[in-house]
Amino acid sequence: MSQAQPAIAAPVPLAAEAPRRRRFLGADLTTHVILLLGVVLFALPIWIVLMGSTHDAATIGRGEVPLLPGSEGWNNYATAWSEGNTRRASVPVSTMMFNSAVMALLITVGKLAISITSAYAVAFFSFPGRMLCFWAIFITLMLPVEVRIFPTFQVVSDLGMVNTYQGLIIPLIASATATLLFRQFFLTIPDELVEAAKMDGAGPMRFFKDIVLPLSATNIAALFVILFVYGWNQYLWPLLVTTSTDVETIVIGIVKMLGAEADTEWNIVMATTVLALLPPVAVVILMQRWFVKGLTETEK
């Protein structure tokens, strides 16, 4: 009896559902097709470069645009890594990668450190000039390095910081965005938590270290991704303050490799491009969860 029951009931919902199902399947298919097109749109340029980097210079120079892997991959990457552009005296990619890594990491760590402490001061203390300090930091949002290129260069050069890591890094280290995000987060820490810590005998620095820092872990991770990408991808500023190849970053290095077209080793450029892409893309993908959360919460 219990078996018979569904047999009678079944036809009704099935009949109602069949056409709807089909329509949904059709819509799903369209969705997949368009999304896949989107994925291809993003992946194609990278694919071309990735495949090109495994062929020799002549193949690319002839304009064959190979879409399948070749046999020169190991050579190209080894050459780029240890020598860079062989036809012109150029810096090995390993050096440029190192410079980029130093710059990106120091900018990231520096921005995080000075932002979290200033946000802590503004959120957890009351002192004369508090709002003034806050606005001074906030207003830097309106002064990106791009709009004050030369005067900033002038200051850096007056301080003797041209062609140094300090010159590359310190002027980029102030961060209104990170400060704002941390401050927003600190304001969500309940008053009672601060009071409980006070009752437990924690002073402001102890509270910072034991409670605020651990609670900020997610925000720090998210900002790490955003700021690392920002640091690694810097172009205009390094272009201005580095004239020596010692502190040349990889983003600058690639554009310099392009130079005069006739003289360009395209396969090396392609291998270098892939290498330059790897660190920030890896950071974004590996830390995707925090990054997505942080990005959408930071800038809104």
- The crossing angle, in degrees rounded to 10, of helices 73-82 and 93-124 is 70
Span near another protein by CB under 8 A; candidates 1-9, 10-18, 72-80, 192-200: 192-200
> How many residues touch another protein (CB under 8 A)?
118
Q: Which of 34, 58, 88, 160 binds another protein (CB under 8 A)?
A: 34
Taking CB under 8 A as the rule, does residue 113 contact another protein? yes
Q: Rounded to whole angstroms, how far apart are CA atoms 166 and 212? A: 29
Taking CB under 8 A as the rule, does residue 19 contact another protein? no
Q: Which of 86, 243, 244, 296 binds another protein (CB under 8 A)?
A: 296
The secondary structure of 259-283 as a DSSP string is SSGGG--HHHHHHHHHHHHHHHHHH
Q: Which of 101, 102, 109, 215 binds another protein (CB under 8 A)?
A: 215
Span near another protein by CB under 8 A; candidates 4-12, 25-33, 79-87, 89-97: 25-33
Q: Cβ contacts of residue 114 below 8 Å, gap of 6+?
A: 173, 174, 175
Q: Cβ contacts of residue 223 below 8 Å, gap of 6+?
A: 111, 112, 115, 178, 181, 294, 298
Q: Which of 38, 86, 160, 243 binds another protein (CB under 8 A)?
A: 38
Q: Rounded to whole angstroms, how far apart are CA atoms 134 and 131? A: 5
Taking CB under 8 A as the rule, does residue 193 contact another protein? yes
Taking CB under 8 A as the rule, does residue 270 contact another protein? yes
Taking CB under 8 A as the rule, does residue 146 contact another protein? yes
Q: Rounded to whole angstroms, how far apart are CA atoms 29 and 163? A: 55
Cβ 230 to another protein shortest distance, Å: 10
- Dihedral, 9, 11, 15, 18 alpha carbons, nearest 10: 100
Closest CB to another protein among 102 and 174?
174
Closest CB to another protein among 79 and 270?
270
